[in-house]
Amino acid sequence: MATRHFLTLLDLSPDELRYLIQRAISIKNGLKTHGPTYTPFANRTLAMIFEKSSTRTRVSFETAMAQFGGHALFLSPRDTQLGRGEPIGDTARVLAEMVDAVMIRTFSHQGLEAYAAASTVPVINALTDDYHPCQLLADVMTWTELRGSVKGRTAVWIGDGNNMCHSWINAARQFDFQLRICCPEGYEPRQDILAAAGDRVSIHRDPLQAVANADLVTTDVWASMGQEEEQARREADFAGLQVSEAMLDQAKDDVLFLHCLPAHRGEEISTTLLDDPRAVVWQEAGNRLHAQKALIEFLLLGRVEG
Ligand code: CP
Ligand code: NVA
């Protein structure tokens, strides 16, 4: 059987993604009731290559491996041969001789694809400049846990047409919900990703109109990792797009607010938004652990019932 990778949400079928969400919820509930007694990853190793900073992604993958009886290796370009120019294809072939799966956080999505093409073990995208699919597993899991099936519902993305926005577009395709994107001119998501989603996704300029009657509102930082020098210009360009409690008041009464975090209070969100009960970002962050356990289990072992 060909090696399955998870580079974007399009690498799994809608049916497989729905399975993963339900499996993640079931794993989470099992952890609550039985404790960490299920160890399907005994003697398995996940290599984690981080070329950008991380708190949630590193801790959730490392803890997922530990709780499921396996082991995770943190690898940074600073102290591996990757940082001294060893070709990524060579690194992929070497690691595949030793570990069971590889997780990569990097800049170039093409670089990630090149790595995956050379890898005979599953490769997981832990964020590139273009996508962050693992975050969407946790986000859809959180939305589903709190509100049931997301099919046919309406989510609103406020802010930059960035890697998270691209993954929300793919989620709208795969989970069959509507997505309204409210961004400044010049900060739209990539046209090909948008076009492939058809009429499930629309572009808006007025945030209050965009959130009207929405089931879910989400946003992200205005300057992503690697764009630090654009911070000042972006703060000016995104003025007026700060998500606030008053903005959520325009949405449905039971609207949820998600943010992948880290958040910049006073920029993309009001200083108090994360204290509002409609914000469920801590549950969302915690769900990274459960969603990624389900993902790695699926990539290594296939579907598990129960
Ligand atoms: N949301 C997210 O991926 O967080 P980290 O950058 O801390 O991993
Ligand atoms: N868009 C952000 C997401 C961080 C989790 C970034 O790429 O920095």
User: Model pTM?
Assistant: 0.98
Residue 54 φ/ψ, nearest 5 degrees: -165, 145
> What confidence tens digit (pLDDT) does each residue in 73-119 have?
999 999 999 999 999 999 999 999 999 999 999 999 999 999 999 99
The binding site consists of 54-57, 81, 105, 132-135, 163, 220, 224-225, 260-261, 288
Q: Using a 6 Å cutoff on CB, does residue 218 contact ligand 1?
A: no
Residue 274: count of CB within 10 angstroms of its CB: 16
Spatial CA neighbour of 167 closest among 122, 137, 143: 137
pLDDT-derived band at 33, boundaries 50, 70, 90: confident
Spatial separation of the C-alpha atoms in residues 83 and 77, rounded to whole Å: 4
Q: Closest ligand 2 atom to the C-alpha of 225?
A: 8
Q: Are 164 and 8 a contacting pair, CB within 8 Å?
A: no
Q: Distance from the CA of 20 to the center of ligand 1, in angstroms? A: 20
Q: Whose CA is nearest to atom 7 of ligand 2?
A: 224
Q: Residue 224 corresponds to which tokens in the numbers above?
A: 């992503």
The answer, yes or no, to whether any atom of ligand 1 lies below 6 A from the CB of 134, is no
Q: Which residues partner with 103 through β-bridges?
A: 48, 124
Domains assigned to the chain:
9-131+288-301 (3.40.50.1370), 134-284 (3.40.50.1370)
Atom of ligand 1 nearest to the CA of 52: 6
Annotated active-site residue 220? The verdict is yes
pLDDT in tens, 215-259: 999 999 999 999 999 999 999 999 999 999 999 999 999 999 999
Of 28, 1, 15, 10, whose CA–CA distance to 292 is shortest? 28
The DSSP line for the chain is: -PPP-BSSGGGS-HHHHHHHHHHHHHHHHHHHHH-S---TTTT-EEEEEESS--SHHHHHHHHHHHHTT-EEEEE-GGGSGGGGT--HHHHHHHHHTT-SEEEEE-S-HHHHHHHHHT-SS-EEES--SS--HHHHHHHHHHHHHHHS--TT-EEEEES--SHHHHHHHHHHHHHT-EEEEE--TT-PPPHHHHHHTGGGEEEES-HHHHHTT-SEEEE--SS-TT-GGGHHHHHHHTTT--B-HHHHTTS-TT-EEEE-S---BTTTB-TTGGGSTTB-HHHHHHHHHHHHHHHHHHHHH-----
224 lines ligand 2 (CB under 6 A): yes
The CA distance from 129 to 222, in Å, is 14
Centre of ligand 2 to C-alpha 250, Å, is: 27
Q: How many CA atoms lie within 13 A of 117 on its CB side?
A: 9
Per-residue pLDDT tens over the stretch 201-210: 999 999 999 9
Q: Whose CA is nearest to atom 1 of ligand 2?
A: 224
Distance CA 42, CA 39 (A): 6
Question: What are the tens digits of pLDDT across the range 103-115?
Answer: 999 999 999 999 9
Q: Indicate which atom in ligand 1 lies nearest the CA of residue 105.
A: 8
